[in-house]
Copies of this chain bind each other. A is one copy, B any other.
Amino acid sequence: MPRILLTNDDGVDAPGLLALKQAVAVLGEVIVFAPDHNWSAAGHTKTMHKPLRVEEVTLADGSRALTSNGAPSDCVALAVLGLVEGPIDLVISGINYGANLGYDITYSGTVAGAMEAVVNGIPAIAVSQEFVRDEPVDFKVAAAVAREVAALVLARGLPPDTFLNVNCPARPARVPPEIVVTRLGRRVYRDALVRRVDPRGRPYYWIGGDPPTGIPEPGTDVGAVARGQVSITPITMDMTHYRFLADLRTWPWTEHLMVEDNA
């Protein structure tokens, strides 16, 4: 029976994690190891400057879970390094409250959980659910999709260095939704600097602004979610820009290079 490790970045009590757990329970033995607090936009972190606490907690469905004060990637690392006994066949991170599209994947704590699995040679899936402000969020579709994707990955495996990034639209065009395989699209961030002054007269700043939008090009994750489709994007951790290698090799690298001995 496959052993599936679940983590997330919204914290162990998040409803998206519970929905994921209940959906994939039929596929194997499920272990939950998630942060004890929210880690959105945490990036791929390895916590080495502070000790990590690990606690056992009880989820809303009465099952046990491990939690730590580290990031999602720390939870995966701790599990792999020995806090979870025995092999792990698949890591699923999510279901994140909010889409992770385009450049988002470089910031996303949810995606970082999948990255840490890949670094450790374990296939992984990141699952995220778009939301619309002031509308209730339903993880039902995303959970069913996660189960389907997980079953296929367990049966077929993934290439080395690869994970799948799954995004479900807030408003599926139909249910069950159409699933499309996409490339990463283009996010448009609308961050703005918000300057405030503290009671002692000193300025401080928030990175504020509006939620990101995106360019809904055909074939991209941004486009699919905008059209109400579920997007599945294969992601490689080999970020080498292969098409640019040959050009870059023709640059005159050492023509002027001087290292001053007296510097």
Interface residues of A (CB under 8 A from B): 38, 40-49, 51-54, 73-74, 77-78, 81-83, 103, 105-107, 112, 115, 119, 140-141, 143-145, 148, 151-152, 156, 159, 162, 164, 175-179, 181, 183-184, 189, 191-193, 196, 202-208, 232-242, 244-245, 248-249, 251-254, 256-260, 263
Contact = CB atoms under 8 A, between A and B. Distances in A.
Given A140-B259, A162-B244, A234-B248, A205 B105 contact: no
Counting chain B CB atoms within 10 Å of each CB, which of A47, A107, A258 scores highest? A107
A205 B54 contact: yes
A196 B237 CA distance: 33
B239 A236 contact: yes
A83 B253 contact: no
B54 A45 contact: no
Contacts of A42: 43, 45
A253 B107 CA distance: 28
Contact of A106 (B44, B176, B251): B44
B41 A45 contact: yes
A53 B205 CA distance: 6
A257 to B, nearest CB: 5
A263 B143 contact: yes
Contacts of A53: 202, 204-205
A204 to B, nearest CB: 4
Given A44-B106, A176-B254, A259-B176, A203 B54 contact: yes
A148 B82 CA distance: 45
Contacts of A119: 103, 106, 189
Given A43-B43, A51-B205, A254 B183 contact: no
28 contacts: A41-B45, A41-B46, A43-B112, A44-B106, A46-B191, A48-B207, A51-B205, A52-B206, A52-B207, A54-B205, A74-B207, A81-B191, A81-B193, A103-B237, A106-B112, A140-B259, A140-B263, A148-B257, A159-B241, A179-B254, A181-B245, A183-B240, A183-B242, A183-B245, A234-B241, A235-B239, A235-B241, A236-B239
A162 B241 contact: yes
Nearest to A172: B259
A243 to B, nearest CB: 8
Given A44-B107, A141-B259, A235-B239, 12 more contacts: A41-B46, A42-B45, A45-B45, A52-B206, A53-B205, A78-B207, A106-B112, A145-B257, A177-B257, A179-B253, A181-B251, A234-B245
